[in-house]
Amino acid sequence: MTKILDGRALAAQLRARLATEVARLRASTGVVPGLRVLLIGEHPASLAYVRTKERAAREVGIDGRIERLPATIEEGALLARLAELNEDPSVHGVLVQLPLPAHIDPERILAAIDPRKDVDGFHPLNAGRLAQLLGPPPDDLLVPCTPRGCLLLLEEALGGLQALRGKRALVLGRSTIVGRPMAALLLAYDATVTIAHSRTRELAHECRRAEILIAAVGRAGLVRGDWLAPGSVVIDVGINRVALPDGTSRIVGDVAFEEAVGQVAAITPVPGGVGPMTVACLLDNTLRACRAQLARNGRIRS
């Protein structure tokens, strides 16, 4: 029996808890957490993602707003806007949607966000703290949203994160958004972590050894059913649009889902697995950032 991990339901639970906490914070301090999502240019998938983030923020009582800027904006103008948002006390979280137009250096942009408002967790200070972590992340550490969402799904699958101790975990993909922070989190919980990537030899063999598999490479159905260890837990981060013979298309993950079912102990579906958790974790980070900023200003006790 394979457990299908319902990310939509788990994310709805998390959002419900956040809505209660946001309402309580507002009642006790008068402060509404503020989130600004900057979208530069017209990338259609990015537009869909930022609209989802804005809507989800509003549903839990966070003042989420998209700021659209032209693809032609100069790097200096974007840095100037970030400096204003860093100074704005009504804004507690700032996110610059990636990818950026080619003339803008993402490293420079991400490093210009106040690390205390860095709800994506991509600032080098936050990434560095995560890389050194042993044990659960402290409340004030902003951890990247997709890896945090994967961790919550693993907690659900395993009945607690202590079960990660000593487990062989394989992370497929070495991106700074998912693969690397995911590996750091698994390591913090004492898993034995391997990171595989496009140059890894004998990928199928690596997968078969894994008790925990996180697939985040962006290649539809790359991981086949016979690559998976019986009884393993599989978290599929892939979001790949594939064309169907009838001219329509659908979204699939990096794992051949139908082949995996029956083989593994638990797996996330695509869609409806990691995606909703990523958005819910962004809201969680926004509330964490807001609380930390209020505590620093003496408005609430930390």
User: Which of the following is catalytic: 97, 117, 118, 167?
Assistant: 97
Query: Please, what is the minimum distance in Å from the beta carbon of residue 188 to ligand GUN?
Result: 20
Are the C-beta atoms of 24 and 33 separated by less than 8 Å?
no
Q: Is 190 a catalytic residue?
A: no
Are the C-beta atoms of 196 and 203 separated by less than 8 Å?
yes
Other C-beta atoms lying within 10 Å of the C-beta of residue 48? 9
Q: Which is nearer to ligand GUN, 52 or 194 (CB)?
A: 52
Q: Which is nearer to ligand GUN, 114 or 120 (CB)?
A: 120
Query: Please, what is the minimum distance in Å from the beta carbon of residue 127 to ligand GUN?
Result: 13
Q: What is the DSSP letter of 70?
A: -
Query: Please, what is the minimum distance in Å from the beta carbon of residue 40 to ligand GUN?
Result: 11
Q: Find the Cα–Cα–Cα–Cα dihedral 51, 242, 211, 143, rounded to 10°.
A: -20
Q: Which two tokens stand for residue 225?
A: 């059913």
Q: Which two tokens stand for residue 250?
A: 């659908």
Q: Which is nearer to ligand GUN, 177 or 212 (CB)?
A: 177
Query: Please, what is the minimum distance in Å from the beta carbon of residue 282 to ligand GUN?
Result: 8
| Contact residues for ligand GUN, defined by CB under 6 A | 95-98, 120, 145-146, 177
Please name which of 122, 216, 213, 228 lies closest in space to residue 170, comparing C-alpha atoms: 213
Are the C-beta atoms of 37 and 188 separated by less than 8 Å?
no
User: Which of the following is catalytic: 114, 120, 236, 284?
Assistant: 120
Between CA 211 and CA 230 the distance in angstroms is 9
Query: Please, what is the minimum distance in Å from the beta carbon of residue 96 to ligand GUN?
Result: 6
Are the C-beta atoms of 223 and 207 separated by less than 8 Å?
yes
Alpha helices for the chain (secondary structure H): 7-29, 44-59, 75-87, 106-112, 124-131, 145-158, 179-188, 203-209, 257-260, 274-296
Q: Is 53 a catalytic residue?
A: yes
Q: Which is nearer to ligand GUN, 96 or 255 (CB)?
A: 96
Q: Which is nearer to ligand GUN, 23 or 45 (CB)?
A: 45
Catalytic positions: 53, 97, 120
